[in-house]
Each structure stands twice: as structure tokens, then as C-alpha cells.
Amino acid sequence: MATSTPNLECRMYEARYPEVDQAVMIQVKDIADMGAYVSLLEYNNIEGMILFSELSRRRIRSVSSLIRVGRQEPVMVLRVDKEKGYIDLSKRRVSEEDIQACEERYNKSKLVHSIMRHVAETMQMDLEDLYIHVGWPLYRKYGHAFEAFKLIVTDPDSILDSLTREVKEIGPDGQELTKTIPALSEDVKDALVKNIRRRMTPQPLKISADVEMKCFQFDGVLHIKEAMRKAEAAGNADCPVKIKLVAPPLYVLTTQTLNKEQGISVLNAAIKACTEAIESKKGKLGVKEAPRAVSEHEDKRHLEQFTKLALDNEEVDGDDEDEEDTGMGEIDVENANVGITE
């Protein structure tokens, strides 16, 4: 199984090509006259193409605003010609649900691939050989090798000792025999378990909620500041709460936790504490988006929307320097001396 010059290039999954109507993670390599050439990151960087007509459902004003060289993102598989190696892809047909599912799968697969590649390199093995005897059997049995790796952290023997491989041997009578042996030697198994335990640390989830908070009383900005403090005080060591101004009157509450239900519960408690505090000063708080776990893609899109809101708000604020203070200026809850940005 070991070679002097191991091949460390291999696809992540047993299938050599993706299925039609499957969302896959790609990286843009080149923009041509008719579309963009991309690499399918989960399939050992085989080439695919996105025609310009498959970039957006709307009229394209600027290709560069929709797709850029180097960008990684999920797209939908339209056609696969296995004989010619052609793969046609679409960006406009991939839904938000497809994007989220693809990102979650890819992040898991990327971690598995990184561990497998490191073990293969360290033990001087072909990466595909390691996938054939360990990775892909675990994908088949557990749905994703990532799920098996999580179990290996605490119980490696029950997972890995069940994997076997067949080898050919010549018996005493000179006849060829098929013998079943463990899929991994003890040294390779030890290296794999050590790498999994080092890399498979729990990843915290980001929980987020959006609220609108207003207070038109005198010193309203101070009342909002105090309400923000009450919200953050509702957090704990496992789920610390942060609340930040996006653009008056919009605020976002966030926490990071290993337990999704606990994180949502803590943010709900923070919203309740904040509501009680601001209403006691005749202010008002409304929930725009209830607490929910957000993916990397959603968080990025959220930030872009909030940035636009903040910029739009700055333009409006600049129209009238004598505008009455409503107590909802830019608040930094961590700096008690800063209340309103002029």
C-alpha cells in the first residue's frame, strides 16, 4: 500500500463525477467569451463551465459583479458528459437551500480531505488508496465520513476495526487465495486517529437576531445604551451575547455556542431583557428576525445588507445637520463616553 512517491491528488467522493441537479462547490478559474471556466473543488478540480446565460435570472449589466476569478461558491450541475468530460453548471438555478446544504457538506468534506491527505503524505501512501479502503466505505456507511470521524474521536476501534480489505496470496499448494485483513495497519490507524482527534474540535455555531429599538425620550440614547447592557448581561460564559448598532433603529444580537438550542434560548432571554429595559423608559423594541443559526453564506450576505443600510443612513443624516436628536444615534455599548456620532 505504501509507495516511494505517493500520489496525493484525489477526489473527495467515490463517484468520479457529480450528478445532474446536484449543487457543487466551484472555484472560478477564467472568464472567457461565452462563460466562465471553473474547477469542481470536490472532484479533484475537474473542469466545468458556466455560460453567461446561467449566471443570473435578471439582465446582466456587469459580469464582474456576478462572477470573479478566484471566487468559491456553490452552483447547480446541469449536464454531465462523462465520455468527453464536459460539465455544464448554473449559478442562477441554485436555491438558497441548495447553497446552505452545499456549503455545509463541502466544509465537512474539506476537513475530512485535509486529514486524509495529511495522513497519506505522512505515511507515504497514495491518497486514493486511503480513500478506497477507509474514506469511501465510511461515506457509504455513515452518509458522510465526517460523521464517522466524530465517532472516532471517542471510539476509534469500533469504527476502524470493522473496515477490511482483500489481498491475494499464494497458498502452500501454490494456488492463489483471497484473504481478508484489516483495512489499516496499526501505524496508519494510529496516525489517522491522532490527526482526527487533533482536528475534530467542536465548531461553535453563530446565532443571530435582528431588532428595531427606539426611544424618543430626553436622554433616549442613554436609555438605549442601558437596554443594550441588559441584553449583553443576559449572556453567559458559554453563550456570550453581543448587540451592535447597524443603522438606527436597527440592531443585531449575536452569540456563538456549541449548542444551537441553548444559543437561541439565550438570545431570546437577551431580547426580553432589552425589551423590558427600553419599555420602562417609554421606548419600543420590535423583533425583525427571530434568533436563528446562520451559515457563513448567510452571515456574509447579512453583513453586506447591513453595510448598505448604514451607508444609506449616513447619506440621510447628512441632509439636515439641525435634525432633532431622537436618542437613536450610533451607540457603542462598550464605550460609555460615546453616544452619538455627529
pLDDT digits (tens, 9 = 90+) for 276-307: 999 999 999 999 999 998 876 666 666 676 66
In the predicted structure, residue 1 carries a pLDDT above the cut 60: no
Q: List every span in the chain annotated with CATH 2.40.50.140.
A: 23-92
Superfamily holding 205-316: EIF_2_alpha (3.30.70.1130)
In the predicted structure, residue 342 carries a pLDDT above the cut 50: no
SS3 41: helix
Higher-confidence residue of 35 and 339: namely: 35
**How far apart are the C-alpha atoms of 330 and 339, rounded to whole Å?**
7
Q: List every span in the chain annotated with CATH 1.10.150.190.
A: 101-199
User: CATH 3.40.50.300: does it fit domain 23-92?
Assistant: no
* 225-244 per-residue burial string, b: 16 or more CB within 10 A, e: under 16: bbbbbbbbebbeeebebbbe
Q: 101-199 in CATH: which number?
A: 1.10.150.190
How confident is the model over 101-143, as pLDDT tens digits? 999 999 999 999 999 999 999 999 999 999 999 999 999 999 9
Question: What's the pLDDT at 102?
Answer: 97
Q: What is the pTM of this model?
A: 0.61
**How far apart are the C-alpha atoms of 42 and 196, rounded to whole Å?**
20
SS3 146: helix
Q: Are strands 86-90 and 46-51 parallel, antiparallel or unpaired?
A: parallel
Amino acid at 6: P
Question: What's the pLDDT at 129?
Answer: 96
Q: Rg (Cα) of the chain, in Å, rounded?
A: 27
What is the residue-averaged pLDDT of the chain?
A: 87
What is the mean predicted confidence (pLDDT) over 202-210? 87
Q: Which residues, 6+ apart, have CB-to-CB distance to 77 below 8 Å? A: 18, 19, 20, 21, 22, 23, 24, 48, 87, 88, 89
Report whether 289 contacts 306 (CB < 8 A). no
Q: List every span in the chain annotated with CATH 3.30.70.1130.
A: 205-316
The phi and psi torsions of 49 (rounded to 5 degrees) equal -140, 140
In the predicted structure, residue 331 carries a pLDDT above the cut 70: no
Question: What's the pLDDT at 315?
Answer: 60
Cell numbers describing residue 165: 480489505
What is the mean predicted confidence (pLDDT) over 240-268? 92
**How far apart are the C-alpha atoms of 264 and 254, rounded to whole Å?**
10
**How far apart are the C-alpha atoms of 21 and 275, rounded to whole Å?**
45
Cell numbers describing residue 340: 452619538
